[in-house]
Amino acid sequence: MNLASAFISSARTHTRKTAVFWGESELTYEHLLQETLRVAAILSKDFGIQKGMRVGLLLKNQPDFIPVFFGVVSLGAIIVPINNFLKAPEISFILKDAGVNLLITEESFAEMLPLLAADLPELQSIMAASLVGAEVPVNSQCPGCELVEQDDAVLIYTSGTTGRPKGAILTHGNLLHNVESCRKVLLAVDHDRFALLLPMFHSFMLCVCILLPLIVGGSIVLIKSLNQPKAIMQEIALRKPTILPAIPPFFRTMLDPAVPAALPLRLCISGAAPLPVQLLREFNQKFSFPLLEGYGLSEASPVVSINPIPGPWKAGSIGRAIPDVEVRIRSDDGRWLEPSGVGELCVRGGNVMQGYWNQPAASAEALHNGWLLTGDVGYMDAEGYIYITDRKKDMLLVNGNNVYPREIEEVLYEFPGIKEVAVIGQPDPRKGEQPLAFVAVHDGQELDERGVVQFLRGRLADYKVPRRVVQLAALPRNGTGKILKTELRKIRINNFDQSI
């Protein structure tokens, strides 16, 4: 079994059923299957894509994402979904690191292509629209049928504490394992419809809102109006999705009195960021269907735990390990801890990645005897419910996105005149946290805060850019010279909420 054969089998079983609702369009399984076969035929014939090659996918949310994804993996190639909020230098790093042979993108990124080509002269690229709908003969047989679960399928880049993202290697088996676990825990069946409104490149959406529904024969309600909560609610009322995975800020918008309590949903899933207990309480007071908090990370394909549908639902908990996945808590000295013992969350199961792309040292640090060391700190109660008490060192969560200060700091050091840098997080009522940068400059230098922010905006995704860049005469340090971020967090910043 592999991802391509699983999808093709489902598509041939549900030929005339609507697989994707997209605005006024309804795309059937037969349509997606034929487009998948066309994509595979073109990539193989015109670009020589074959097993083991890496294909970058830089697309905004749209139906084309699906046949392109399955077309690539059906050839045994490894797909590299790229965060479309990133800027050219960030994308260029990923393309180089993964050794991408071909980039599939869309017209909205056309202006970026010359910048990428200047850095990667050998890079080939093609618009997804040229692949989907093309009149080419297709192979009606099952492409990819010879692939096995151990074959690499997806390379997902995650932010890293070293300042550069790392590519987590996920096999066909890793993703299929997670899909099956999610099917069991969500009680997903072929009449379920999944509302997809978060970015399709994200591992959470890839597993839960694309692979899961299409493999079980369900449908995807692909939402167009992401920045208009009212329009999203109208689409939900019209298309009647039954399962809605999203992030806490979206569920907060559902508490608006204008949003009716009677919706066709049977289940909401909160992930990617901590769910405030008060928000959970208010949500469950308003709606008859549950909002269940879960937990995952790209290295685990990504889902690890969720509060069970039958209950009990424990506020503040990320739930219990999903079926066929094991979670234990480990002390700093490597001992497994009893219930209530606080330590590092470790995960074991068929969903755990193979390692990081071309990073044996980082892989060895993250994987121990089949266990994935998440870096997240917490405890488990006697009933197996997991609680996160601390996050990975220095990591921020900005609107559900992982942001590591080291990555921002490395770019800040490239700005002329800056001598030392430290980035911390500041609470933000809408986004959870926002980066705040402290800098000291070389003698005789003047700092132009707006100039620094503009410099960062050209090199970092917008959500990584600090809201403020504050100049100090010197950054506080301890006796060994280490910058004391604890002291920086005590500094009160005026006008932090004003964007530069």
Q: What is the DSSP letter of 61?
A: S
Judgement on whether residues 270 and 408 belong to the same structural domain of the protein: no
Judgement on whether residues 411 and 317 belong to the same structural domain of the protein: no
Judgement on whether residues 353 and 440 belong to the same structural domain of the protein: no
> Could you tell me if residue 497 is inside a domain?
no
Q: What's this model's pTM, rounded to 2 decimal places?
A: 0.85
> Could you tell me if residue 500 is inside a domain?
no
What would the DSSP string read from start to end of 439-491? EEE-TT----HHHHHHHHHTTS-GGGS-SEEEE-SS--B-TTS-B-HHHHTTS
The residue among 93, 296, 331 whose CA lies nearest residue 204 is 296
> Could you tell me if residue 138 is inside a domain?
yes
Judgement on whether residues 421 and 475 belong to the same structural domain of the protein: yes
Ranges of beta strands (E only) in 191-230 are 193-196, 219-222
Token representation of residue 356: 């990081």
- How many Å apart are CA 485 and CA 422, to the nearest integer? 7
Judgement on whether residues 67 and 171 belong to the same structural domain of the protein: yes
Pairing of strands 320-321, 303-306: antiparallel
- How many Å apart are CA 72 and CA 372, to the nearest integer? 28
- How many Å apart are CA 270 and CA 250, to the nearest integer? 9
Judgement on whether residues 361 and 414 belong to the same structural domain of the protein: no
Please, what sign has the CA dihedral across residues 187, 193, 196, 202? positive
Whether residue 179 contacts residue 207, with contact meaning beta carbons closer than 8 Å, is answered with yes
The b-or-e profile of 175-199 (16+ CB within 10 A means b, else e) is bbbbbbbbbebbebeeebbbbbbbb
Judgement on whether residues 85 and 158 belong to the same structural domain of the protein: yes
Q: What is the DSSP letter of 299?
A: G
Q: Is 252 exposed, middle or buried (0-12, 13-18, 19+ CB in 10 A)?
A: middle
Please, what sign has the CA dihedral across residues 465, 466, 467, 472? negative
Q: What is the DSSP letter of 224?
A: S
Q: What is the DSSP letter of 211?
A: I
> Could you tell me if residue 499 is inside a domain?
no
For 361, the 3-state DSSP assignment is: helix
Give me the CATH number covering residue 437: 3.30.300.30
* Residue 361: CB atoms within 10 Å: 8
Judgement on whether residues 455 and 437 belong to the same structural domain of the protein: yes
Judgement on whether residues 261 and 227 belong to the same structural domain of the protein: yes
Whether residue 123 contacts residue 103, with contact meaning beta carbons closer than 8 Å, is answered with yes
Please give the single-letter amino acid code of residue 219.
S
> Could you tell me if residue 391 is inside a domain?
no
Please give the single-letter amino acid code of residue 478.
N
Whether residue 169 contacts residue 354, with contact meaning beta carbons closer than 8 Å, is answered with yes
Give me the CATH number covering residue 343: 3.40.50.12780
- The residue whose two tokens read 């002291």 is 487
> Could you tell me if residue 31 is inside a domain?
yes
Residues of the domain holding 482: 396-488
- The residue whose two tokens read 């349509």 is 31
Question: What are the pLDDT tens digits along the chain (500 aa)?
Answer: 899 999 999 999 999 999 999 999 999 999 999 999 999 999 999 999 999 999 999 999 999 999 999 999 999 999 999 999 899 999 999 999 999 999 999 999 999 999 999 999 999 999 999 888 767 666 666 667 789 999 999 999 986 555 688 999 999 999 999 999 999 999 999 999 999 999 999 999 999 999 999 999 999 999 987 777 788 999 999 999 999 999 887 888 899 899 999 999 999 999 877 787 888 888 999 999 999 999 999 999 999 999 999 989 888 899 999 999 999 999 988 999 999 998 999 999 999 999 999 999 999 999 999 999 998 888 999 999 999 887 666 778 888 888 888 788 878 988 998 888 889 998 888 888 899 999 999 888 888 889 999 999 999 999 999 988 999 998 887 655 668 887 898 887 766 555 55
Number of folded domains in the chain?
2
> Could you tell me if residue 64 is inside a domain?
yes
Judgement on whether residues 295 and 411 belong to the same structural domain of the protein: no
Rg (CA), the chain: 23
Judgement on whether residues 423 and 453 belong to the same structural domain of the protein: yes
The residue among 448, 436, 440 whose CA lies nearest residue 490 is 436
Judgement on whether residues 156 and 201 belong to the same structural domain of the protein: yes
What would the DSSP string read from start to end of 152-196? EEEEEEE--TTSS-EEEEEEHHHHHHHHHHHHHHHT--TT-EEEE
